[in-house]
């Protein structure tokens, strides 16, 4: 078979093999209950200071207040916009440059060292400069998120597009395929699993970029909120925002995972089974539709 | 099942018909990769509609020879297929590899239709033809399965159906069943010979198995390595269809030993 076979192994949330899902969910929820229980106990007995570890119930109350005030949603909206725009911008840029590099070797040779230089420079360090260049709105945060997203998508796309199976390429050439056909029918679909691994890394990095951008300078956003609560030593509210960020991170990652499952269906047995069954059923229906009028005319 | 609408001669051939006509003609054909000589001075002809085995140990240039004939790699010397000099890939020459090289995102049927997709639009007739080839290679009922759902042997059958779908009259097979277990390989070899007879194509079959070569082929190009050289051509005069009991006869084992000697003398 062709292309990269990076698949479930790149998934951080891969379920443990060999257990049924109710048992798995049970264990996972059980672990959460134990951790929260220990946390409540530690806070209750005063093993740790409330500043460091506020009781779970206080965190919940802060969360509820932030939610009902509408404060959380306002800031959440801003941060999500920065994450989304930064992710789209950075990924699209990384993807397009990788495609150009895969099709045109001199270009790849020229840009590659610069891309690596960009990657090894801590992007967080350019955050203060971004505000000199771009001012104080959402835009510098979007740009920061985009520069961080850029590299994993670029490098994965370039890798995926350049590791085309040699025999498959020979097959395409022997069939008289054009360069365009070889790209769209062989290289690009073959690269999809690797590209998605890059996109999944990028979406988490976009969140980091947006939050760091807000730390440096912001009027709104969850990063600002968490910073403000920390300065106020309001640790239960800071925890509430932090857990909100975890939830957002999980949701974004889950969304990418879902799109991945939908696009790269050929690496998932259950998706394949469904597709082949549907195609067979469609074929049977088409056959029946052709056969029926004949039968009538026979009589 | 008959494959009647394939490009090819309309009159079924009588034995010895145009068999003498050369399908592949090579004169002093060679190939160098940098300073490494992969093939040196190969001169041979392969008659139309013959089943020819290319036999030799690894590194003797068998696969390279096939790629030269397929027009995938430029060659030195004179190389004609069907009277035309080889200058690149062409529609009447089809290739099959040791690995199935199926696209995992296409079902068996869609994989078989790939040659049609690359050449233009897929019509209902093409779909029907692809279905016919799939049942010819014994995959009826698996048309909508994906490569990942098929066994290694079934994947290779799909690959064979795809080769037939090209409509090529020269079939180049590079150890097509080499990665399969011996039972499956033997069965697929026999089916390949049956298909070869049915579609009246010229077949070049690369193998490193002497018995397999003698059993399947009309003649054997014996190659030796470092540098890749054509040691000789061995004719295999047995009638077709050939049964497995042929392998017990002394005539058969004589040829096997001749080939082995030819390989041994050059090694």
Check CB contact under 8 Å for B148 and A276: no
User: Phi-psi bin for B243: left (phi > 0), alpha (psi -120 to 50), beta?
Assistant: beta
Q: Look at A15-24, A116-125, A164-173 and tell me which has the smallest mean pLDDT.
A: A15-24
What mean pLDDT do residues B24-48 have? 87
By residue count, chain A amounts to 299
B240 vs A299: CA distance, rounded Å: 47
| A83 pLDDT tier (thresholds 50, 70, 90) | very high
Preferred mutation among A171, A283, A287 to probe B, highest tally of B CBs within 10 A? A171
Q: What is the CATH number of the domain that holds A255?
A: 1.10.3720.10
Preferred mutation among B68, B102, B103, B111 to probe A, highest tally of A CBs within 10 A? B103
Partner residue facing A176 (CB), from B99, B118, B144 = B118
| Per-residue pLDDT, B68 | 93
Q: Is A170 near chain B, with CB under 8 Å?
A: yes
Say whether pLDDT at B225 is over 80.
yes
| Per-residue pLDDT, A123 | 82
Check CB contact under 8 Å for A170 and B118: no
Residue A11 maps to a domain? no
Q: Where are the alpha helices (DSSP H) in A46-126?
A: 56-69, 71-103, 105-120
Check CB contact under 8 Å for A181 and B119: no
| Per-residue pLDDT, A46 | 83
Say whether pLDDT at A7 is over 70.
no
What mean pLDDT do residues B158-163 have? 94
Check CB contact under 8 Å for A175 and B97: no
Instruction: Answer yes or no: CATH 3.40.390.10 is held by domain B47-92+169-267.
Output: no
| Per-residue pLDDT, A293 | 59
Q: Is A273 near chain B, with CB under 8 Å?
A: yes
Check CB contact under 8 Å for A1 and B147: yes
- Is residue B103 within 8 A of residue A2, CB to CB? The reply is yes
| Per-residue pLDDT, A19 | 62
What mean pLDDT do residues A18-39 have? 87
Say whether pLDDT at A298 is over 70.
no
Q: Look at B20-24, B29-33, B170-174 and tell me which has the smallest mean pLDDT.
A: B20-24
Q: What is the ipTM of this complex?
A: 0.86
Rounded to two decimals, the pTM is 0.82
Q: How many CB pairs under 8 A join A and B?
A: 84
| A294 pLDDT tier (thresholds 50, 70, 90) | low
What mean pLDDT do residues B75-92 have? 90
Closest-CA distance of chain B to residue A299, Å? 27
| Per-residue pLDDT, B217 | 92
Q: Look at A101-110, A172-181, A186-195, B24-33 and tell me which has the smallest mean pLDDT.
A: B24-33
Closest Cα in chain A to B167: A175
| Per-residue pLDDT, A1 | 42
Mean of per-residue pLDDT scores for chain B: 86
Per-residue model confidence as pLDDT tens digits over A149-188? 999 999 999 999 999 999 999 999 999 999 999 999 999 9
> Around Cβ A100, how many Cβ atoms within 10 Å?
13
| A263 pLDDT tier (thresholds 50, 70, 90) | very high
Check CB contact under 8 Å for B67 and A170: yes
Say whether pLDDT at A2 is over 60.
no
**Count of the separate structural domains present in chain A:** 1
| Comma-separated ranges of CATH 3.40.50.300 domains in chain B | 47-92+169-267
Q: What percent of chain B has pLDDT over 70?
A: 91
B55 vs B65: CA distance, rounded Å: 11
Check CB contact under 8 Å for A272 and B146: yes
Full residue range of the structural domain in which residue A85 is found: 54-266
| Per-residue pLDDT, A259 | 95
Preferred mutation among A7, A173, A175 to probe B, highest tally of B CBs within 10 A? A175
Could you tell me which of B118, B110, B60 has the C-alpha nearest to residue B89?
Answer: B118
DSSP letter for B247, please: G
Q: Residue B61 corresponds to which tokens in the numbers above?
A: 């240039």
What mean pLDDT do residues A93-108 have? 93
Spell out the residues 6+ positions from residue B169 whose beta carbon is closer than 8 angstroms to its own. Answer: B7, B8, B82, B92, B200, B201, B202
What mean pLDDT do residues A281-292 have? 82
| Per-residue pLDDT, A18 | 53
| B266 pLDDT tier (thresholds 50, 70, 90) | low
Residue A163 maps to a domain? yes
Say whether pLDDT at B46 is over 50.
yes
Print burial letters for A204-235: b (CB count within 10 Å at least 16), e (below 16). bbbbbbbbbbbbbebebbbbbbbbebeeeebb
| Per-residue pLDDT, B179 | 83
Chain B contact set for A289 (CB, 8 A): none
């Amino acid at each position: 078979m062709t292309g990269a076979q990076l698949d479930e192994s790149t998934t951080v949330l891969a379920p443990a093999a060999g257990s049924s899902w109710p048992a798995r969910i049970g264990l996972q929820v059980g672990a959460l209950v134990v951790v929260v229980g220990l946390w409540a106990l530690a806070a209750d007995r005063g093993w740790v200071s409330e500043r460091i570890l506020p009781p779970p119930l206080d965190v919940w109350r802060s969360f509820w207040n932030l939610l009902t005030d509408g404060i959380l949603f306002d800031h959440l909206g801003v941060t999500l916009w920065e994450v989304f725009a930064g992710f789209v911008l950075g990924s699209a840029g990384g993807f397009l440059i990788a495609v150009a590099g895969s099709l045109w070797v001199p270009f790849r040779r020229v840009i590659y060292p610069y891309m690596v230089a960009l990657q090894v420079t801590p992007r967080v360090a350019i955050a203060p400069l971004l505000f000199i260049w771009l001012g104080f709105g959402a835009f510098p945060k979007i740009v920061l998120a985009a520069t961080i997203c850029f590299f994993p998508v670029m490098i994965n796309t370039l890798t995926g597009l350049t590791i085309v199976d040699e025999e498959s390429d020979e097959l395409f050439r022997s069939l008289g395929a054009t360069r365009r056909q070889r790209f769209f029918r062989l290289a690009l679909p073959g690269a999809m699993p690797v590209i998605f691994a890059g996109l999944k890394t990028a979406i988490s990095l976009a969140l980091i970029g947006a939050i760091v951008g807000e730390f440096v300078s912001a009027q709104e956003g969850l990063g600002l909120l968490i910073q403000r609560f920390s300065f106020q030593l309001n640790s239960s509210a800071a925890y509430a925002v932090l857990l909100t960020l975890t939830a957002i991170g999980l949701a974004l990652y889950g969304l990418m995972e879902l799109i991945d499952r939908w696009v790269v269906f050929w690496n998932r047995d259950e998706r394949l089974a469904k597709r082949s069954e549907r195609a067979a059923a469609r074929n049977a229906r088409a056959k029946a539709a052709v056969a029926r009028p004949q039968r009538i005319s026979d009589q | 099942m008959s494959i009647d609408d394939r490009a090819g001669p309309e009159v079924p051939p009588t034995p010895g018909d145009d068999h003498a006509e050369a399908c592949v003609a090579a004169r002093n054909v060679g190939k160098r990769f940098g300073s490494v000589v992969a093939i040196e001075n190969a001169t041979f002809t392969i008659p139309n509609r013959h089943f020819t085995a290319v036999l030799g140990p690894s590194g003797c240039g068998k696969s390279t020879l096939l790629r030269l004939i397929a027009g995938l790699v430029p060659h030195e010397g004179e190389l004609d297929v069907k009277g035309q000099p080889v200058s690149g890939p062409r529609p009447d020459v089809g290739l099959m590899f040791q690995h199935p090289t199926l696209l995992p995102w296409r079902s068996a049927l869609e994989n078989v239709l790939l040659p049609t997709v690359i050449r233009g639009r897929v019509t209902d007739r093409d779909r029907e033809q692809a279905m016919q080839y799939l049942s010819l290679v014994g995959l009826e009922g698996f048309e909508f399965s994906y490569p990942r759902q098929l066994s290694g042997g079934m994947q290779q059958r799909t690959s064979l159906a795809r080769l037939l779908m090209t409509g090529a009259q020269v079939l180049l097979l590079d150890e097509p069943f080499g990665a399969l277990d011996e039972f499956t390989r033997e069965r697929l070899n026999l089916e390949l010979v049956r298909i070869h007879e049915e579609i009246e194509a010229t077949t070049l079959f690369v193998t490193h198995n002497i018995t397999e070569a003698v059993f399947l082929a009309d003649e054997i190009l014996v190659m030796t390595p470092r540098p890749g050289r054509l040691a000789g051509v061995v004719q295999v005069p047995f009638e077709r269809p050939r049964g497995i009991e042929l392998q017990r006869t002394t005539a058969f084992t004589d040829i096997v030993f001749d080939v082995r000697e030819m390989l041994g003398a050059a090694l």
